[in-house]
Amino acid sequence: MAEQNAASVFDSTDEIAWCPGCGNFPILKSLKQALFDLGKQPDQVLIASGIGQAAKLPHYIKVNGFNGLHGRALPPAIAAKIVNPGLTVLVNTGDGDSYGEGGNHFLHNIRRNVDITHLVHNNQIYGLTKGQASPTTDLGQVTGVQTLGNIDQPLDPVLMAIAVGASFVARGFAGEPEHLTELIKAAIEHKGYALLDILQPCVSFNKVNTYDWYRERVYRLGDDYDRTSWQQAMAKAAEWGSKIPIGILYQIDKPTFADRLTWLKNSPHLVDRQWEPKDAEHFMQELD
């Protein structure tokens, strides 16, 4: 067998429809590299997404894909993981998709703690629909809909995730792809729901949060940072403005959804369940 690299294993033949220079390209590359480094095989990985520019990602990588509805990437992803824990399940989708239309699933899946990885391509804008404010757009930013400037206070997704009880919360930046690769690997290896919010410049519609804008602000969390302290993580996560921390903000051990499905402990995965209609016949007894 010829020597393999991330590209040869995970490359898709589909033409990429993103704009040249889009921050999604380095994210895609880091993702492939992370999967490769972890020794994942395409047929053992599932990426779910919603609708948006980021959400097109499942077409641009050779793994199983479920490109569903706008805002609805998480529900199919967690269900797939529940019925087949053998799959490595990721969600790659946009900030509008994850925090806007999909906000309720974001909130409640933190509580479920299913062992999946949620990568949010956070370009602080609705890219595919041509540039309206997303939940992470800064106050005052002018768009075709927010013609007098955005008036809704932006959401800090990492802060919210930590507050609601996520067991892994990190922030990455498309402009630091090697660092990002490491974060993606850590997120995938984390047992439980892992949120990785990725700062992703949109070169076409977000003229405020550019590569330069981010570069001037992001800094990596140091080795001395204690990612297991909730209080400290809350404080760090709240940092946004002239300085923006990237790295793993918070990580703890916590029972996952699967851990709590105690009645399935010693039985095969649902996808491998053996079942005959007759197996249910005895339930008629209680109807006698």
Ligand X SMILES: Cc1ncc(C[n+]2csc(CCOP(=O)(O)OP(=O)(O)O)c2C)c(N)n1
Residues in region 138-157 near a copy of itself by CB under 8 A: 148, 151-156
Give the nearer residue to ligand X in terms of CB position, either 94 or 175: 94
Residue 108 in contact with a copy of itself, rule: CB under 8 A: yes
Binds a copy of itself (CB under 8 A): choice among 16, 83, 142, 163: 163
Stretch in the footprint of ligand X (CB under 6 A) among 51-59, 218-226, 238-246, 260-268: 51-59
Q: Which does 203 bind (CB under 5 to 8 A by kind): ligand SF4, a copy of itself, Mg ion, none?
A: ligand SF4
Q: Which does 97 bind (CB under 5 to 8 A by kind): other proteins, ligand X, Mg ion, none?
A: ligand X
Give the nearer residue to a copy of itself in terms of CB position, either 104 or 228: 104
Residue 88 in contact with ligand X, rule: CB under 6 A: no
| x/- track of binding to ligand X for residues 125-154 (CB under 6 A) | xxxxx----x--------------------
Q: Which does 176 bind (CB under 5 to 8 A by kind): other proteins, ligand X, a copy of itself, none?
A: none
Give the nearer residue to other proteins in terms of CB position, either 121 or 217: 121
Phi, psi of 29 (to 5 degrees): -65, -45
Stretch in the footprint of ligand X (CB under 6 A) among 32-40, 103-111, 123-131, 168-176: 123-131
**Contact set for Mg ion, span 71-130 (CB under 5 A):** 94-96, 123, 127
Give the nearer residue to other proteins in terms of CB position, either 132 or 232: 132
Give the nearer residue to other proteins in terms of CB position, either 14 or 178: 14
Query: Residue 38's closest CA among 213, 153, 187?
Result: 187
